[in-house]
């Protein structure tokens, strides 16, 4: 039986594209939101989840870092999807026919220049793949969707204009999540360790906690903070570092981190994707 991988959103989304690139042998399970995608894996309905965590233009994806520490899942891989935005219209439509284009609120500003130049009004849709489905069902030649070419394939739409995004390097990073951790050394580009921690309530705790990574030569590629439980005083940090916890320098750095923190939780140990290099 074919295994399943859960995503937030509908078929044809960029999450679906990430699955097709990295797990083409798995069936995609669309879910209403991130919580449903996580729960699908926890319950065994799906074996894996493909979750977006950050975008090169818009930063981190809302809610993901809040959900990951309590998800019960483990990061086993990362992948990057180049976000190409295309104008998708019903068969027979031409670009000059389009008066309205539908897409997710985040995607519309990414192609504002193209929309202005072509006198097209942007319309907000819950999801870019949902926009493609709605346009296909409406069969209105004046309405288009802004989405991936994959969405056009799935919903039978024509590509009226390709790669209309304003930024030429817009990329989203995805994490593959599993019920079972995989801490084995693998891949050809080194390992990444992701973890969350809370610092002790002492002066300069974060500064001191970070000192161990500098003195032991461990490269920290990401450090983000967010509130815990609605408190303005309890702050949790999410971090990515280069290396495996069994590496001597990483072990020393993590030991020093532990001294200045109240809690450390490893979210995943996984191979670095070549596209991050």
pLDDT in tens, 52-97: 999 887 778 877 877 888 899 999 999 999 999 999 999 999 999 9
Provide the token pair at 180: 């079972």
Give the neighbor-by-neighbor strand order of the sheet with 158-161.
121-125, 100-104, 143-147, 86-89, 158-161
11-15, 191-195, 198-202: segment of lowest average pLDDT: 198-202
What 8-state DSSP symbol labels residue 71?
S
CA 186 from centre of chain: 22
Give CA–CA dist 89/92, Å, rounded. Answer: 8
Provide the token pair at 213: 């990574």
Q: What is the dihedral of CA 35, 40, 46, 49, to 10 degrees?
A: 10
Question: Is 195 marked active-site?
Answer: no
What is the model's pLDDT at position 230? 61
Give CA–CA dist 239/264, Å, rounded. Answer: 11
Instruction: Provide, rounded to the nearest whole percent, the portion of the chain with pLDDT above 70.
Output: 97
CA 203 from centre of chain: 34
Q: Which of 34, 174, 195, 260 is catalytic?
A: 174
What is the model's pLDDT at position 28? 98
Q: What is the 3-state secondary structure (H, E, C) of 201-249?
A: CCCCHHHHHHHHHHHCCCCEEEEEEEECCCCCCCEEEEEEEECCCCCHH
Question: Is 174 marked active-site?
Answer: yes
Task: State the pLDDT confidence band at 255, using cuts at 50, 70 and 90.
Answer: very high
What is the model's pLDDT at position 247? 97
Residue 101: count of CB within 10 angstroms of its CB = 29
Instruction: Provide, rounded to the nearest whole percent, the portion of the chain with pLDDT above 90.
Output: 75
**Pairing state of beta strands 74-82 and 171-178?**
antiparallel
Look up the pTM and report it.
Answer: 0.90
Pinpoint the alpha helices (H) of 23-117.
Answer: 34-43, 64-67, 112-117
pLDDT in tens, 118-150: 999 999 998 899 999 999 999 999 999 999 999
What is the model's pLDDT at position 116? 97
Give CA–CA dist 156/91, Å, rounded. Answer: 8
> 169 pLDDT exceeds 90?
no
Q: Which of 172, 176, 193, 261 is catalytic?
A: 172
How large is the C-alpha radius of gyration of the chain?
A: 21
Q: Which of 108, 131, 130 is nearest to 121 (CA)?
A: 108
What is the model's pLDDT at position 56? 85
Task: State the pLDDT confidence band at 221, using cuts at 50, 70 and 90.
Answer: very high
Mean pLDDT, the chain, whole residue set: 92
Task: State the pLDDT confidence band at 231, using cuts at 50, 70 and 90.
Answer: low
What is the model's pLDDT at position 123? 97
Residue with tokens 């609120």, as numbered in its chain: 105
What is the model's pLDDT at position 64? 80
pLDDT in tens, 24-56: 999 999 999 999 999 999 999 999 999 999 988
> 260 pLDDT exceeds 80?
yes
Burial of residue 219 (number of CB atoms within 10 Å: 0-12, 13-18, 19+): exposed
Give CA–CA dist 119/34, Å, rounded. Answer: 35
Residue with tokens 């399943």, as numbered in its chain: 4
Pinpoint the alpha helices (H) of 44-123.
Answer: 64-67, 112-117
């Amino acid at each position: 039986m074919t295994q399943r991988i859960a995503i937030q959103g509908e078929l044809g989304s960029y999450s679906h594209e990430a699955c097709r690139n990295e797990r083409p042998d798995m069936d995609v399970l669309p879910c209403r939101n991130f919580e449903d995608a996580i729960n699908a894996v926890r319950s065994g309905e799906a074996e894996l989840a493909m979750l977006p965590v950050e975008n090169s233009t818009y930063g981190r994806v809302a809610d993901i870092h809040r959900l990951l520490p309590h998800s019960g899942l483990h990061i086993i891989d990362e992948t990057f999807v180049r976000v190409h935005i295309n104008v998708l219209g019903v068969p027979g439509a031409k670009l000059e026919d389009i008066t309205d284009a539908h897409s997710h609120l985040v995607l519309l500003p990414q192609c504002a220049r193209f929309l202005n130049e072509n006198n097209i009004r942007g319309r907000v849709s819950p999801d870019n793949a949902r926009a493609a489905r709605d346009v296909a069902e409406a069969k209105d030649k004046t309405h288009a969707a802004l989405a991936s070419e994959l969405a056009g394939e799935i919903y039978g739409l024509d590509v009226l204009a390709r790669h209309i995004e304003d930024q030429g390097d817009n990329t989203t990073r995805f994490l593959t999540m599993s019920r079972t951790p995989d801490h084995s050394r693998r891949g050809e580009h080194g390992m990444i360790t992701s973890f969350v921690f809370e610092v002790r309530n002492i002066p300069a705790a974060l500064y001191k906690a970070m000192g161990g990574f500098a003195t032991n030569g461990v490269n920290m590629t990401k450090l983000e903070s967010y509130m815990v439980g609605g408190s303005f005083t309890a702050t949790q940090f999410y971090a990515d570092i280069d290396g495996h916890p069994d590496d001597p320098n990483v072990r020393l750095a993590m030991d020093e981190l532990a001294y200045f923190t109240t809690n450390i939780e490893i979210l995943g140990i996984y191979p670095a994707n070549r596209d991050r290099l």
